Structure formats: C-alpha cells, structure tokens
Amino acid sequence: MDYSDDFDAVRATSSTAWEDETEDIGQTSLQRLTRWWINERGAPDILVWQAQLVEELLDSLHNQATMVQHIRSDPRTSEQEHFRVVLVQTEMERVKFLIRSYLRVRIHKIEKYAGYIMREPGVQVKLSSGELTHAQKYYDLISKYFHSSALEGLPENMRSLDEQLPNGRSMITEPDKDRGVFVRARKKCENVRLPNGDSLTIEKGSIHLLRYRTVEDLVARAEVELI
C-alpha cells in the first residue's frame, strides 16, 4: 500500500508561505499563532482569544496524529516511512508546545487580573468560554479564601476586595497600559496618536518603543506586532 497520498494531500498553504513575515496573506495558522503568542507575552493587557487559529491547529494536530497512527499500525510500513513519521511527530511536539505556551501566558494574565476581568464586561468578551469560567471560579475561590482566612476578623466596612481609594488607586489589579512595548509595523500606520498629542507615521518594518496604550488598537488589528 502506498501512503504517499497521506503525506502528500496538498493543503491550501503552499511552501512559499514562509517568505514574508509581515504579510498576512499566505501565512500559515502556525505563523499567525506564533505571532499572537509573542503579542500576548508582550502586552500588559489580555488580548482577544484566537479561537479560529487554535482550532485550526488542533485540527491539523488531530489529522497528523490519525495519519501517524494509521501508518505505524501497518506492519508493511517501510523504514523510510517510519523516518518520515518521526519528522511529523517532531513537528507535532513543536506545535503542541506553541499552543501550550499561548494558553499558559493567558492563564497567567487571567489569574493576575481576575478581579478586573470580573468587573469589566468589555474584557470578558476577549476570553474563551473556558477561560471565562476559570476566571470566575478563580476569583470566587480567592475571595472566599481571603474572607475565611483574614477578612472575617475585620470590621464589616473593611472587608471589601474592590475598594477604590480617594486618590484613584484601586484594590483591583489592572493592566498597566502605559508600559513600554517594542513593536514592529506589519504595514504602514499613519497618524498614530502619541500621548503628547503629536501624531507619528510608522513605516512598514520599522521598530519602535512605545507605550502600550498608543498601539493598543494597532495590535488588535494586527497592523503591528509586539516583539
């Protein structure tokens, strides 16, 4: 039996997909998720959950796994095909690492900003349903723990976890959007508003250190990437 069809089945993506890092067209879901992973690592705020990319990659992983199983379970598989299977598996491990790393950085942010997420419905929509459930449960657990371990012993008016102090500081940890981030432009961005009111044109491919607040929208629209 010839398995070359299994290996071969050409997908929409061609091998030229690797050529230009800054173009979306022809980029594989792998490259795009890699970019969102690094964006997520760089951004102080939590970004929109890349449901489609993760789904596509999980599908690809599933397909590859089925194929590997299929080939390995066949005793007539040649030495050379086994070698190809090893390459396929090596790549699968890399993709799994990527997805795991992406999820981990998000979980870290969800736990750090649980109170903030629970307070802001606008942030909740950026999470997947699983992540939102986690945020809810985590926040409930933490609040219960704080109450039972310490807060119950305090006067009633000191027990809240979301107090806003008169000087504007809040008990809820919020992402620091004024933190500096390194960005690289994926296309020319004109009229980027700087905090001092000036506007800036970012040339394609150029690298800048800017406050996250300045580029927040550009990151969301994938016009710049964090590096």
Partner 1 sequence: MALPQPLRPGPTPYELEFIASDELIEISPSFSMERTRLIHGIIGPFRPPGKSKVPLWLAVNLKLKRKCNIVPPDWLNVEYLQERLAEETSSPAFSALPFRFAEIAKVLLDVAADDLALPDKIRSLLKDLREARQSKSRDGLKKLDHIQLEMANLCSMEINELRPFFVKAMGVFTKLQTDSQGNADDQAGGQDMDFSW
Summarize as ranges the residues that interact with partner 1 (CB under 8 A).
Answer: 4, 6-11, 13-15, 17-19, 21, 28, 30-31, 34, 38, 41-42, 57, 60-61, 64, 80, 83-84, 87-88, 90-92, 94-95, 97, 101, 104-105, 107-108, 111, 178-182, 194-196, 198, 200, 206-211, 214, 227
Residue 65 CB, nearest distance to partner 1 (Å)?
A: 11
Q: How far is the CB of 127 from partner 1 (least distance, A)?
A: 14
Nearer to partner 1, 56 or 120 (CB): 56
How many helices (H) and strands (E) in the chain? 8, 5
* Nearer Cβ to partner 1 (101/143): 101
* DSSP per position, 159-176: --SS-B-TTS-BSS----
**Cβ of residue 145: shortest distance to partner 1, in angstroms?**
17
Q: What's the distance, CA 66 to chain centroid?
A: 26
Q: Quick one: 64 or 124, whose CB is closer to partner 1?
A: 64
The position carrying tokens 């976890």 is 161
Cβ pair 24, 32 in contact under 8 A: yes
Residue nearer to partner 1 on the CB measure, 16 or 157? 16
| The token pair that represents 149 in the structure block | 């371990």
The nearest distance, CB 153 to partner 1, in angstroms, is 29
Residues 139, 118 contacting (CB under 8 angstroms): yes
Closer to partner 1 by CB, 149 or 196: give it.
196
- What is the spatial distance between Cα 186 and Cα 207, in angstroms, rounded to a whole number? 10
Least distance (Å) from partner 1 to the CB of residue 95? 6
The residue among 57 and 118 lying less far from partner 1, judged by its C-beta, is 57
SS3 (DSSP) at 7: helix
Q: What is the DSSP string of 103-156?
A: HHHHHHHHHHTHHHHHH-HHHHTTS-HHHHHHHHHHHHHHHHHHHHHTGGGS-G
Beta carbon of residue 212, minimum distance to partner 1 (angstroms, whole number): 10
